[in-house]
Amino acid sequence: MSIVPVITIDGPSASGKGTVAQRVAAELGFGYLDSGALYRLTALAAERRQLNWRDEVVVARLAGELDVVFDGAAVLLDGNNVAEAIRGETVGVGASIVAALPSVRTALLARQHAFAALPGLVADGRDMGSVVFPDARLKVFLTASAAARAERRYKQLIGRGEQADLAAITADLESRDARDRERKVAPLQQWPDALLLDTTDMGIDEAVEQVLMWWKTR
How many Å apart are CA 205 and CA 46, to the nearest integer? 36
Q: Is residue 111 part of a domain?
A: yes
- Yes or no: say if 68 and 38 are a contact pair by the CB < 8 Å rule: yes
Q: Is residue 1 part of a domain?
A: no
Q: Is residue 147 part of a domain?
A: yes
Q: Is residue 132 part of a domain?
A: yes
Check residue 156 and give its pLDDT: 84
- CA distances to 32, 49, 80, 170, 191 from 9, rounded to whole Å, are 11, 32, 28, 22, 11
Q: Is residue 61 part of a domain?
A: yes
Which structural domain range is residue 63 located in?
6-213
In sequence order, the 6+-apart residues with CB closer than 8 A to the CB of 57 are 103
Q: Is residue 195 part of a domain?
A: yes
Check residue 44 and give its pLDDT: 97
What pTM was estimated for this model as a whole? 0.83
Q: Is residue 218 part of a domain?
A: no
Check residue 1 and give its pLDDT: 58
Domain count along the chain: 1
Q: Is residue 35 part of a domain?
A: yes
Q: What is the CATH number of the domain that holds 131?
A: 3.40.50.300
Which residues, given as ranges, of the chain have pLDDT below 50? none
Check residue 2 and give its pLDDT: 73
Is the C-alpha dihedral spanning 38, 43, 46, 52 positive or negative? Answer: positive
Which pairing describes strands 80-81 and 121-125: parallel, antiparallel, or unpaired? Answer: unpaired
